[in-house]
Amino acid sequence: MSDETLNLTLRVWRQDNSDSEGEFRDYKLSGVSTHMSFLEMLDVLNEQLIEAGEMPVAFDHDCREGICGMCSLMINGQAHGPDNATTTCQLHMRRFQDGDTIVIEPWRAAAFPVLRDLVVDRSAFDRIIQSGGYVSTNTGNAPDGNAIPIPGKVQEVAMDAAACIGCGACVAACKNASAMLFVSAKVSQLAVLPQGHAERTGRVLNMVAQMDEEGFGHCTNTSECEAACPAEISVSNIARLNREYVRATLVNRD
C-alpha cells in the first residue's frame, strides 16, 4: 500500500435549501491520505470549514459500509464516483491523483429535490414501494419455511435483484432520470419467487404508475443505470419488468 498524500481542489455544490439558488464553490484540501475513504475526506474538509467559520457541507451518509444506501454524490459526473460496484462511502482516495480537481454534486433528478448542499429527498422511492413492492402477508402463522421448495437457482436470481440498496444512483446516472432499474429490481425479486405470484399483476401495474406519477423519466435502454449501480443490479431486470408489465396489461381484469 502506498502512503502518499494528495493535494486537491474540491468543487462542491452549495445550496442553502430547496428554494434557494445553488452554486459551485472551490475549496483547497491538502495532505489527504490515500487510505481515506471519500467521505472521510469530506469529514476533513468539514472540520477545516468549521474552524474557518463556514458552514460545513451537508451530505447524506450512515452505515459507511456500502449497504444502507444513504450516501450518494455525483463525483466528476459519475454516480458514486469512478469505481464499479462501489458506493461513495467505499470509494477510497487512492483512486485519485495529486493535484486533481474533484467536482462533487448532488443526485440530479427532478424527482429527488435538493434539501441542502448534497442532500436530496428520495422519499419517492418509498412511495413506489408503498404502491406494491411487498407480499401481503400479515405477521402470524406463516407456513413452515420449507413448505414451498424454491430451487437454489431461482433463489439466486431473486437474491441478485433483492440486493438493491435503494440509493438512487440509477436515477442520477440516467439521462432521463428514469427509475426503471430500481423498480425492476423489486418487481423481479417478487415475480420469480412463488410468494410473490398472487399479487404479480397488480404489483407491476401499480409500481409503474407510481413511478410515473413521481416524475421519473422513461427508459431508453442506455444501461447507464447498470454501469452506475453499486449493487450490480442487472438491466435484465428491466427486461423482466417489461415482460411482467405487458403480461399484466393483457391479463388484468380490474
Residues numbered 71-100 forming contacts with other proteins, rule: CB under 8 A: 83, 85-86, 90, 92, 94
Nearer to other proteins, 49 or 227 (CB): 49
Supply the minimum distance, in Å, between the C-beta of residue 246 and other proteins: 22
Distance CA 84, CA 216 (A): 24
Name the residue among 85, 100, 84, 86 with its Cα closest to residue 34: 100
Distance CA 77, CA 43 (A): 21
- The site map against other proteins for 15-54 (x = CB under 8 A) is -xx---------------x-xxx-xx--xx--x--xx-xx
Give the cell for residue 135. Answer: 407480499
Decide: 184 and 236 in contact? Cβ < 8 Å.
Answer: no
CA angle 35, 41, 45 (to 5 degrees): 150
- The site map against other proteins for 201-220 (x = CB under 8 A) is --------------------
Decide: 166 and 125 in contact? Cβ < 8 Å.
Answer: yes
Footprint on residues 215-244 left by other proteins (CB under 8 A): none
Nearer to other proteins, 73 or 158 (CB): 158
Distance CA 167, CA 80 (A): 10
- The site map against other proteins for 181-200 (x = CB under 8 A) is --------xx--x-xx----
Nearer to other proteins, 199 or 222 (CB): 199
Decide: 190 and 150 in contact? Cβ < 8 Å.
Answer: no
Footprint on residues 111-170 left by other proteins (CB under 8 A): 115-116, 119, 121-123, 125-126, 129-131, 133-146, 148-153, 155, 158-159, 162-163, 165-166
Name the residue among 170, 165, 164, 171 with its Cα closest to residue 214: 171
Asked if 103 interacts with other proteins (CB under 8 A), we say no
Nearer to other proteins, 198 or 221 (CB): 198
